[in-house]
Amino acid sequence: MFGRQARLRWVHLVLGGALLMPYWLLSVVMLGALNPAQGPARQTLLQFLSLFTSLPMAAVTALLPTVRGLEGAAARALCSTARPEELATGPARSWPARWRTSLWFVLHLFSGGVVAGMTLAGTPFAIVLILNIGGARDLARFWEDRFPGWMLTGPALGLAVLLLILLANAGFGALLARWAPALLGPTPEERLATAERRATVLAQRNRLARELHDSVGHALSAVGIQASAAARVLRSNPDFAAEALQAIEETARAAVAELDTVLGLLREEDPEANGAAGPAGPTLAGLDDLLRQLARTGVTVDAELAPGLAALPDAVSREAYRIVQEGLTNVLRHAGGVAAGLRVGLAGGRLEIELTNPMGPGRPSRPGGGRGLRGIGERAAALHGGSTAGPDEDGTTWQLAVWLPVAGSA
């Protein structure tokens, strides 16, 4: 009944009364024209009838799509609902949303008309009673005669009128706050559309995160290993150090190019334009360069590549390259300079990738790591494939196996 919430709800209700006024005046004119000769009693009845005949006209105008956004903004700012974030912010785009907005508009205008009328008429009346001026004494004596012993003096009656206004404001304000999410909230169709848009955005963000992790992460790992090796032999083997520095330069340049490609997608006005194909990037045709780069870090790869990889769909070839890249980067990070085995083949309408390497001494993982294998699984699942990873039965060899369907993958 008191406090900031009560004041905001009172403003919201008075706003509803103000919006009701044009419809009410039009109803008064129309009903008065039907029967112009009326006494005081019938004039009072006309005022009340006009309130109810104005509501259907308000309901019709509330079917306009823009009414929903305006009413939602007013309710969010003034109604003090429990879930203001669920209220509508835009126009109604379906007929169910329009009908719900129309029902809310009628409820808002009716309750606002009642509270505004009580405030405008009841507050001065209560002040007159409290000050006990004018006909307040006669009115007090009238009620005292009918209810003897109740101490119904003018000030008591005035306070009772003010209390009635406060109760009406609190009651109608709570009613509107309760019904606002149901009538101004999103429809099931809008909730589904919002969830789909959110899922699309999250999928795009995850896709870009995988690209950054696999491309830049691989480059930084390779650069770190090469820089460490160059620093160790800088004085004893300057030729090897120079070769390592050249490899660092080539790796960094390639990483910057890939980073520009991925960041360019973030500036696209329509990020879904690349949705199915995924971000542009290297394909299996670039495996030789990748293996040559790893050889400079001390990781030798015994590669067995099936013929016909160049004819794979671009989407499959890109994802397969990133999977191989991440797998070899994990070898570099966790096992060091060991010999790894890689087989990329085609069998039964699917692309098969197998990567094995001896288990390393168990290097400590960096903080926040562990996203590589999850990214590999997400890439495979996006193309309706699958993956497995883990040590063999003896616990001496790490195995990564991925399969991707080829037919219709693009």
DSSP states along 235-272:
TT-HHHHHHHHHHHHHHHHHHHHHHHHHHHHHT-S-GG
pLDDT category of residue 368 using cuts at 50, 70 and 90: very low
- DSSP lists the bridge partners of residue 303 as 342
pLDDT score recorded for residue 280: 60
Please give the model's pTM, rounded to 2 decimal places. Answer: 0.56
Q: What digits encode the pLDDT tens for the residues 309-354?
A: 888 888 899 889 889 988 888 888 788 778 899 999 998 889 999 9
Whole-angstrom distance, CA of residue 140 vs CA of residue 120: 22
> Could you tell me where the DSSP H helices lie in 132-237?
136-146, 154-184, 188-232
Among residues of the chain, what percentage have pLDDT more than 90? Answer: 30
**Hey, what domains does the chain have and what are their CATH numbers?**
4-186 (no CATH), 192-405 (3.30.565.10)
Angle between helices 238-266 and 188-232 (to 10 degrees): 170
CA–CA gap between residue 107 and residue 256 (Å, rounded): 60
Q: What is the mean pLDDT of residues 75-92?
A: 84
For the chain, the residue count is: 410
Q: What does the alpha-carbon distance between residue 321 and residue 312 come to, in Å, rounded to a whole number?
A: 12
- pLDDT at residue 12, rounded to an integer: 95
C-alpha–C-alpha distance, residues 159 and 149, integer Å: 18
Confidence grade of residue 366 (pLDDT, cut at 50, 70, 90): very low
Say if residues 314 and 283 touch (Cβ distance below 8 Å).
yes
Beta carbons of 64 and 99 less than 8 angstroms apart: no
**What distance lies between CA 378 and its chain's CA centroid?**
22
pLDDT for res 178: 92
Distance of CA 350 to the CA centre of its chain: 37
pLDDT of 209 > 70? The answer is yes
* Degrees, nearest 5: CA angle 326-381-364: 35
Q: What is the pLDDT of residues 59-73, one digit of tens each?
A: 999 999 999 999 999
Pick the more confident residue, 387 or 251. 387
User: What is the C-alpha separation between 27 and 21, in angstroms, rounded?
Assistant: 10
User: Is 293 or 314 the better-scoring residue by pLDDT?
Assistant: 314
Contact 282, 317 (CB under 8 A): no
What pLDDT band is residue 162 in, cutting at 50, 70 and 90?
very high
Sign of CA dihedral 123, 124, 125, 131: positive
